Chains A and B, each alone.
Chain A
Amino acid sequence: MLIVAVVLIVLALVYYLLSTIGSLMRITTGLDDAIAAVTEIAEKSAPVEAVVKDINHNLDAGVDLLEGLLVKKAGLVDAMGLVEGLYPGAAAAGLRNFPDSAQVRPPRISEVYTKGTLTLARLGREAPIAAASPNGPVLRNIEGGSLDARLLYPEGRQSRPERLPRSPVIGTGAPVQYPPSEQRGGTTPDEGEAREKGPWAETAAEGVVPAELGGSDAPREMLGEDPQLGSEALGETTGSDEPATDTGIDPAAGDEADATTDGGPARPDGEEPDLKDAGAPPRQVDQ
Chain B
Amino acid sequence: MTLWWIGDVLLIAVVLPVVVYLLKGVLDAARSIEPSVTRIAEAAGAGSKDLDAVPLLLTTQAHVKTTVEVVAGYGGSLDVIIDDAE
Q: Contact: A5 with B57, CB < 8 Å?
A: no
Partner-A contacts on B (CB < 8 A): 4-5, 7-8, 11-12, 15-16, 19-20, 23-24, 26-27, 30-31, 33-34, 37-38, 40-41, 44-45, 47-48, 51-52, 54, 57-58, 60-61, 64-65, 67-68, 71-72, 74-75, 78-79, 81-86
A23 at the interface (CB under 8 A from B): yes
Q: Say whether chain A's binding surface is mostly helix, strand, loop, or mixed.
A: helix
From A23, A44, A58, B31 is in contact (CB under 8 Å) with: A23
Of B4, B5, B34, B71, which contacts A23 at CB under 8 A? B34
Chain B contacts for A23, CB-based, 8 A: 27, 30-31, 33-34
Q: Check A2 against B4 for contact (C-beta < 8 Å).
A: yes
Q: What are 7 residue pairs bridging A and B, where the CB atoms are less than 8 Å apart in the complex? A: A1-B4, A8-B16, A23-B34, A34-B37, A51-B57, A65-B72, A73-B84
A17 to B27: give the CA distance in the assembly, Å. 8
Query: Once the chains bind, are A72 and B26 in contact (CB under 8 Å)?
Result: no
In the assembled complex, A55 has its CB within 8 A of some CB on chain B: yes
> Could you tell me if A62 and B67 are in contact, using CB atoms closer than 8 angstroms?
yes
Q: Chain A's nearest CB lies how many Å from the CB of B66? A: 9
Task: Select the stretch in A24-32, A169-177, A180-188 that faces chain B.
Answer: A24-32
Complex contact B8–A37 (CB within 8 A): no
Q: Which listed residue, B8, B68, B82, touches A145 by the CB 8 Å rule?
A: B82
B47 CB contact (under 8 Å) in A12, A16, A33, A37: A37
Chain A residues with Cβ below 8 Å from B20 are 12, 16
Out of A37, A48, A150, which one reaches B41, CB within 8 Å? Answer: A37
Asked if B19 and A13 sit within 8 Å, CB to CB, the answer is: yes
